[in-house]
Structure 1
Amino acid sequence: MTRQLCERCQFTPSTCICRAVSHINNKIRVIILQHPSEEKIAKNTAKLVNLSLTGCQIVKGENNNDFAILKSLPLESTVLLYPNGKAINLDEKAKSAEINNITHLIVIDGTWKKAYKILQLTTLLNQFKTVSFKQLPTNRYAIRKAPRADSLSTLEAVAHSLFLIEQLNPAPLYNLLDELIKKQTQHMPEHVKARYLN
């Protein structure tokens, strides 16, 4: 017997987050490269971004063949969000020409290990400039544990990037994340919930 799912958000009726979804008109087009293992994870936030942003696309895969879309993106105005030694810090250059000219933001959706694997297998990504943050926003996504201190969910990373690049108000995306957390923890015993949320 298959579980009933909401047609729009693909969560069960008791965990449906549609009432918190806002349609956000973003100028910078967001391309999310999603590792296949992330798709079935209930706590994955990429689909929340896709539900909210009018300019967003999720592409699933692991390598150049899967991500052929990268060949069609403009080289000069597309950036990859990834913290490496060459990354431009968005929070330091928020008003510079190189930030103002961005038209496409590529975001890798997966654990650090899977994101690194995508980076190694997808050599097409090497052609794009990378961007990151010097100061990370506070991580709000306590229900999915990450091994690194500089971990943000895909939703948080996109929300903060768009805030810095195009001054897009991140509140609607954060409200949606809060709704997801509320719905995913609503049936947890209080002592278990406290472990996640405190």
Structure 2
Amino acid sequence: MLQHPQEQRQAKNSVALLRLSLAHCEVAVGERFAPEALQSLLHRPGRETRLLYPDVPAAPAPPAPATPAGAPLRLVVIDATWRKSLRMLLEHPALAALPRLPLEAPAPTRYRTIRAARRADQVSTLEATVQALAMLEGPSFDAAPLLDAFGCFVAGVAARQGLV
């Protein structure tokens, strides 16, 4: 995860739940990363890397090389508002050069209760990551426990904010 510093301080920060729930979840907080540091985060031996991000006109996605079935993948996720995530993508050529893993049709979000979105296909970082992991890992990935925990998280934040 590359997390924008402002997201880290949000009460509705879904990355905190991902970090607690996924064994191999690493979070680097920052808006601008030194090129060498970013390279070491993005590229480690033995894994192909994919960026969970849609193809956007301002930063077209490079073609993804074929990956053998069962080959280990590193999934990179930007945790920021759409505007800030695009800025992070444009300011880091190494990030923009990564092959993308777009979500085909994101499932409806549970996040609307606590955070507004401009479009129906905008989901939380946690929900997008869960969908991506389900795409990558197939039927062996059980998303239910993480999504149930997220539902409780959203309900708790909504209650604290007086939204329910």
Residue 188 of structure 1, CA deviation: 5.5
Residue 149 of structure 1, CA deviation: 2.4
* Alpha-carbon distance between aligned partners in 2 of 1:47 and 1:67, rounded to the nearest angstrom: 26
Structure 1 residue 51 corresponds to structure 2 residue 17: no
Q: Deviations over 1:60-114 (max 9, x none)?
A: 112231881433514861100100054789xxxxxx8457434200000010011
1:62–1:121 contact (8 Å) kept in structure 2: no
Q: What residue in structure 2 maps to residue 164 of structure 1?
A: 135
Structure 1 residue 82 corresponds to structure 2 residue 53: yes
Q: What residue in structure 2 maps to residue 117 of structure 1?
A: 87
* Alpha-carbon distance between aligned partners in 2 of 1:88 and 1:170, rounded to the nearest angstrom: 28
* Alpha-carbon distance between aligned partners in 2 of 1:186 and 1:67, rounded to the nearest angstrom: 43
Structure 1 residue 140 corresponds to structure 2 residue 110: yes
Structure 1 residue 63 corresponds to structure 2 residue 7: no
RMSD of aligned alpha carbons:
2.5
Distance change (3 Å), C-alpha of 1:98 and 1:151: farther
Q: How high is the sequence identity, in percent, across the aligned residues? A: 31
Residue 148 of structure 1, CA deviation: 2.5
Q: What are the ranges of 5 or more consecutive residues in structure 1 without an aligned counterpart?
A: 1-31, 90-95, 194-198
Q: Which moved more, 1:98-107 or 1:127-136?
A: 98-107
Dislocated runs of 4+, deviation >2 Å = 69-72, 85-89, 96-102, 185-189
* Alpha-carbon distance between aligned partners in 2 of 1:62 and 1:49, rounded to the nearest angstrom: 20
- Give the one of 156, 159, 163 matched to 1:186: 159
* Alpha-carbon distance between aligned partners in 2 of 1:188 and 1:64, rounded to the nearest angstrom: 33
| TM-score (norm: length of structure 1) | 0.69
Q: What residue in structure 2 maps to residue 3 of structure 1?
A: none
Q: What residue in structure 2 maps to residue 11 of structure 1?
A: none
2:50–2:74 contact (8 Å) kept in structure 1: yes
